[in-house]
C-alpha cells in the first residue's frame, strides 16, 4: 500500500495523483519528470491551490513565464506580484514608484510598465520616498513604519488626488502646501525598472516541494519516507519550521552552461535545473533548484548524510521543451 511522502497517510493507488516534479505552470515538457503513487490527492490538491499558485503568479520565476512565452503575454494581467515588486528607476517625482506590466504588442519586448495608484512617503533619512499601493495607505500600513516621516513630504499618484489628500489630512498629515507632480519622461519611451523579489516562507516551501519531489522520484518512496526527512516534509506540507532555515538562496548558477557566440554576458540561460546530492563534506542531503536560469535555491533535505542516496541531476530546456539527465 503506497504512503504519501508529505502527509504520510497510506491508501490505495486511486488515492494518489500523478505529481509533476516541476509544476506544469513552468512549461509542458516532453519526457517531463512525473512521480506516481508518491503524493496523495489531498496533498496534491493543497499544493495546486496554494504553493504552486504562489510560485506561478507572484514570484520572479512566475513572471519569467511571460517573457519566455511559457504563458501568453496577454495573460500577464493575472499576475499577482505576491513576492515581487517592480519600481520605476529614473529621475523626477516618480522615482521608485510601483509599476505593473501589461501586454503591448507595440512595445519593444511586448510589455508596457504603468504606475498603479499609490502614495510615496518621505523616508526619515531624507533620502527619497517609499511608495505604497493606495490600498495599503488606506489600511494604515505607513503608520507602522518607523523609517517614514510623512511630514517631510508626500507624493500622490491617484485618479482622485483630492480624496487622498483629504484622507491624509484626517490622519494628521497636514502639509503646508500640496503640489501636482509632473512627469519628466515620455510615456512612449522605454524606462528602466528595478525589481525587488521577496523570498517568503511560502516561496521557500514551493521550491522545497519541487526539490523533495525530485529526491523522491530519483530515490524512491521508501527512501523519501525515512524519518530523516520528517522536518522538511512538515515544512513543505504544513509550514512547520525548524530553528535553522531549510533554504539558502543566491544568484550563482547551479552549473555553468555555454552561451552561443554573441550572447550578452548578462543574459541567463533559459533552463530549469534540478540536482540532489550530498553536501560538500557529506554531512547532509541537499537539493538544488533553479527555474528559468534565475535564483539558485539550495534545499537542505536532511541534516545527516542519509546512506544510500542516489545522486542525480536533470536539465529542462525551456526553449526546446525537452528534459535531459545531467552527467550521462
Which tens digits make up the pLDDT trace of 169-218? 999 998 887 776 655 555 566 778 899 999 999 999 999 999 999 999 99
Is residue 105 domain-shared with residue 172, that is, in the same domain? yes
Is residue 155 domain-shared with residue 233, that is, in the same domain? no
Is residue 321 domain-shared with residue 208, that is, in the same domain? yes
Tell me how many domains the chain contains.
2
Is residue 30 domain-shared with residue 103, that is, in the same domain? no
Is residue 164 domain-shared with residue 221, that is, in the same domain? no
Is residue 159 domain-shared with residue 224, that is, in the same domain? no
What's the 3-state SS for the chain? CCECCCCCCECCHHHEEEEECCCHHHCCCCCCCEEEEEEEHHHHHHHHHCHHHHHHHHCHHHHHHHHCCCCCHHHHHHCCCCCEEEEEECCCCCCCCEEEEEECCCCCCCEEEEECCEEEEEECCCCCEEEEEHHHHHCCHHHHCCCECHHHCEEEECCCHHHHHHHHHHCCCCCCCCCCCCCCCCCCCCCEEEEEECCCHHHHHHHHHHHHHHHHHHHCHHHHCCHHHHHHHHHHHHCCCCCCCCEEEECCCCCCCCCCCCCCCCCCCCEEEEEEEECCCCCCEEEEEECCCCCEEEEEEECCCCCCCCCEEEEEECCCCEEEECCC
| Residue 66, domain member (yes or no) | no
| Residue 78, domain member (yes or no) | no
Which tens digits make up the pLDDT trace of 40-76? 999 999 999 999 999 999 999 999 999 999 999 999 9
Is residue 224 domain-shared with residue 244, that is, in the same domain? yes
| Residue 64, domain member (yes or no) | no
| Residue 230, domain member (yes or no) | yes
| Residue 234, domain member (yes or no) | yes
| Residue 30, domain member (yes or no) | yes
Is residue 193 domain-shared with residue 210, that is, in the same domain? no
> Pick from 197, 227, 243: which residue ends a domain?
197
Is residue 152 domain-shared with residue 235, that is, in the same domain? no
> Which residue range forms the structural domain that includes residue 296?
13-57+198-256+268-325
Which tens digits make up the pLDDT trace of 9-41? 998 878 898 999 999 999 999 999 999 999 999
Task: Specify the pLDDT at position 258.
Answer: 57
Is residue 178 domain-shared with residue 205, that is, in the same domain? no
Amino acid at each position: 500500500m503506497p504512503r504519501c511522502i508529505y502527509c504520510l497517510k497510506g491508501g490505495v493507488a486511486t488515492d494518489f495523483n500523478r505529481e509533476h516534479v516541476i509544476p506544469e505552470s513552468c512549461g509542458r515538457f516532453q519526457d517531463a519528470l512525473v512521480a506516481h503513487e508518491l503524493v496523495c490527492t489531498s496533498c496534491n490538491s493543497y499544493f495546486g491551490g496554494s504553493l504552486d499558485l504562489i510560485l506561478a503568479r507572484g514570484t520572479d520565476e512566475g513572471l519569467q513565464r511571460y517573457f519566455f512565452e511559457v504563458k501568453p503575454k496577454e495573460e500577464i494581467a493575472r499576475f499577482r506580484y505576491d513576492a515581487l515588486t517592480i519600481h520605476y528607476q529614473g529621475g523626477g517625482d516618480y522615482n521608485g514608484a510601483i509599476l505593473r506590466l501589461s501586454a503591448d504588442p507595440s512595445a519593444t519586448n511586448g510589455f508596457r510598465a504603468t504606475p498603479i495608484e499609490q502614495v510615496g512617503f518621505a523616508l526619515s533619512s531624507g533620502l527619497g520616498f517609499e511608495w505604497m499601493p493606495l490600498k495599503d495607505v488606506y489600511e494604515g500600513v505607513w503608520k507602522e513604519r518607523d523609517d517614514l516621516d510623512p511630514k517631510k513630504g508626500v507624493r500622490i499618484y491617484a485618479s482622485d488626488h483630492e480624496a487622498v489628500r483629504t484622507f491624509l489630512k484626517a490622519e494628521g498629515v497636514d502639509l503646508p502646501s500640496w503640489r501636482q507632480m509632473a512627469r519628466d519622461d515620455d510615456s512612449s519611451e522605454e524606462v528602466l525598472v528595478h525589481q525587488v523579489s521577496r523570498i517568503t516562507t511560502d516561496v521557500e516551501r514551493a521550491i522545497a516541494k519541487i526539490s523533495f519531489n525530485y529526491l523522491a522520484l530519483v530515490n524512491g518512496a521508501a527512501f523519501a519516507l525515512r524519518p530523516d526527512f520528517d522536518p522538511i516534509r512538515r515544512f513543505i506540507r504544513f509550514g512547520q519550521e525548524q530553528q535553522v532555515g531549510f533554504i539558502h538562496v543566491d544568484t550563482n548558477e547551479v552549473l555553468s552552461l555555454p552561451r552561443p557566440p554573441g550572447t550578452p554576458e548578462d543574459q541567463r540561460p533559459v533552463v530549469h535545473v534540478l540536482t540532489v546530492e550530498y553536501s560538500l563534506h557529506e554531512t547532509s542531503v541537499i537539493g538544488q533548484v533553479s527555474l528559468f536560469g534565475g535564483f539558485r535555491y539550495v534545499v537542505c533535505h536532511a541534516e545527516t548524510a542519509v546512506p544510500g542516496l542516489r545522486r542525480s541531476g536533470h536539465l529542462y530546456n525551456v526553449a526546446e521543451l525537452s528534459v535531459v539527465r545531467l552527467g550521462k
